[in-house]
Amino acid sequence: MKEWKKCGAGLYEEEYLECEKRWVFLLLMCVGGYFGAFTYSIRGGVFCNAQTANFVLMAMALGRADWGQVLYLLIPMSAYFLGAVVSEAIANPIKKLNLIRWDTLFVLLEMVAVVVLALLPERAPYQITQVTINFICSMQYNTFRQARGIPMATTFCTNHLRQVGIAFTKTVKHRDASHLRRLGAHLAMLGVFVAGGVAATVLCRVFLGRALFAALIPLGIVLAGLLHADLTKERGVLTRVPHGH
């Protein structure tokens, strides 16, 4: 696929925005793995990246008529819901300011949230961390949708594993390099997710809640790359909508 194309004004622009590049998705996926291992290891033994488990737990609670547990589970589920609502509602107003892209601003806000959570005392209720990570994972998932035209999730692995199976079958059947590239892309996402989880598990043993500061490294790299693109090569296309939105 061509990297450059002619636009209507006679200028040339990249076919994919910086926020759609695979390196961005790989780093965010690593952060997703880090968040999952962090909350499970030292913040209540739960995974906050997605909500499937909470729906299962709610179904079980309904079956037991445990209404208190049902109401409790509505908290993280509502946080995830609100994350999608906010990220969807705020993107267009931010775009109209023509300063930086919403994708860039979101990564900055995610870093602020990470700093706040990392500074919480260990005795703070786990729910603060759980609900906040539910919220930002939902926003991240909804904001970053496609990496160079390939649908991607940056906070959980289920779809990537499914896509690996599909791409593997098509690669063997058709001997098509495009399916092999897709296979590699999804395998890479799974690999960095696991790497993030390993890093969080190791660092949590030593630094406890302060281990969350390490997530600022990949997030900082992403922020620097996106901000540089916003202020330089993509300065004139800040209103352009990424693929998949």
Taking only the tens place, the pLDDT of each residue in 114-131 is: 999 999 999 999 999 999
Residue 14 pLDDT: 63
Provide the strand spans (E) within the chain.
Answer: 4-6, 12-14, 146-147, 150-151
Per-residue pLDDT of the chain (245 residues; tens, 9 = 90+): 344 444 443 333 468 999 999 999 999 999 999 999 999 999 998 889 999 989 999 999 999 999 999 999 999 999 999 999 999 999 989 988 889 999 999 999 999 999 999 999 999 999 999 999 999 999 999 999 999 989 999 999 999 999 999 999 999 998 888 889 999 999 999 999 999 999 999 999 999 999 999 999 999 999 999 999 999 999 999 989 898 88
Residue 228 exposure: Cα atoms within 13 Å on the Cβ side: 7
* Residue 12 lies inside a defined structural domain of this protein: no
Measured distance CA(198)–CA(40) in Å, rounded: 12
Angle at 113 (CA atoms; ends 110, 119), nearest 5 degrees: 145
Domain count, the chain: 1
Residue 11 pLDDT: 37
Residue 139 pLDDT: 97
* Residue 10 lies inside a defined structural domain of this protein: no
Residues 6+ apart with CB under 8 A from 19: 101, 103, 104, 144, 226, 229, 242
* Residue 242 lies inside a defined structural domain of this protein: no
Beta bridge partners of 153: none
Q: What is the CATH number of the domain that holds 124?
A: 1.20.1250
Residue 175 pLDDT: 83
* Residue 1 lies inside a defined structural domain of this protein: no
* Residue 14 lies inside a defined structural domain of this protein: no
Residue 245 pLDDT: 87
Residue 1 pLDDT: 36
Q: Please give the residue range of the domain that contains residue 195.
A: 23-237
Measured distance CA(211)–CA(205) in Å, rounded: 9
* Residue 17 lies inside a defined structural domain of this protein: no
Structure tokens at 121: 């005392």
* Residue 9 lies inside a defined structural domain of this protein: no
* Residue 74 lies inside a defined structural domain of this protein: yes
